[in-house]
Structure 1
């Protein structure tokens, strides 16, 4: 067992690096709308996101178990640790590439794509192991398609409901001035307050999803290295470590992606920001409850587009949105290819 200590530590270290990059790469998911509507200042928003991620991580056990045991079955021992290590490195490479270009791709799908790519590369070299395609289809592919569609539709519906409620309230109170049914300043002030709450919910949901994926990797490494008898038990120190590193990465910020989500897709007002964050956090909570590792990025971005489309279809910058969607499509295979390269490089070491 002791001879595998260093390989296990290498995988855990790689998982922590991924966790940190996940934090600054996906920080925008929780705070871009709050910052762009000026509901929160950037640093306060990042602080809220970091705390929310830390708290949410402690409620993500179901997602962690899916990642740790439902994606691949590597062989036990050093060979299996090499596969997991290469998969995480592939995900890190994709995260850094998309961060550099300010593209809000999915860290979740990068990690899953990396694990699959590394496992397939190992099988090609004659290593025993298995990619659990049934689990990937049921718990990754279907939710990958369903969560953005759900975010878009619910975002549009909630925004329409809010607009209708405001209209009825203004009409009932008969507050007309200068041809307007209501004054926008008090309304924006109210929704800025509400958006602070929805930003907290979004941050907790992000922690439930993304910190949990790192926890799953660590548990997989401990099990593969023989330091744990099962792969469905999460030690308490894994919760705290993953949560802390994700929170630190989140506080480091991801300003390139924040600009893309908060300004380039559509200009948001506080009501729209509240609607997008409320819907996205609800989808994240539901998916985490059922152990589905969905993408925080996909969910909030689609909710933003759904909210924007209710105002004016052309208000959404569909060219920018199209580039984001293309990045979504390329994330799984892109991270897989990066992991294949990483596996070829590290195979002689493990």
Structure 2
């Protein structure tokens, strides 16, 4: 898979303006691929579906009730009751009719229910799963996974990036990344009961969405660096801009941390977060993109980060693999001397600091006592 610049004659990516069309090339001659990460990172192309109609409203109600249940057994009883009522079978029969956007919406609601019931370690099609979870729900889960073409969607990219909405309707059309940056966001399915303040799990998911929105420039810079000549001065310039973006993301996490520490920390939400974190399901896509550019795919002893890619849709995994390949020349700066090598090392260090800040935010969210964020950041 080639970068956009390599695929399309006459197209040059810049770190400041995105696509630039050279003289003699008409705009119509430059195709813009679907789900282009340069436009909005791995955010959905449009705001997530806030309301599902008809029979699917039962899935929204089930997800919300399970998320706010006081304990695992209550959440599982809600699923069992929906199965006895025939609601889950009725939904299973309608999965193939879902539009792509509504399939994503259904996946988010299933993912919330799975996490709320403590089933994140299950494979819905494995025979052993039938001993641990309701069979009708497992059938619905597997059908939704088949519909979205993604078997391991019960993780942060689905739980966060498909579970938000602007609090009020924007006065004008805004690009999705700008909408998520500038508008007050609320969860579509709340982990906190209605009428109560948002807890730390809700806050962490919204913070991750805003992190992805602020990180949209990182994806554009990744495309700029793809295939760059390490000796070219523009490579060092793009790396410096990448460092600034990563510093901005780290500052964004610090600002989110204050609100998160002040939020309620119900033991139930902390337990859900701890379970997701233990299975590596809380990796933000924007950090995976920076990893692909600066670290590459084949680092010895670091299989966990590569395993995190399995939690992304296939088109996103393909983009990250392309960055692994096409940013390989830039990574040769690690073995060179001079200013370029120094800038590259600084970019790597800024990514490590950003990862520590995010890990600190997760620890803070998952610990009822708040946990120290400053040491991690």
Same fold (TM over 0.5): no
Q: TM-score range by the shorter chain?
A: under 0.3
Q: With structure 2 as the length reference, what TM-score do the two structures score?
A: 0.23
Q: With structure 1 as the length reference, what TM-score do the two structures score?
A: 0.25
Which structure is richer in relative contact order (CA contacts within 8 A, separation 6 or more)?
1
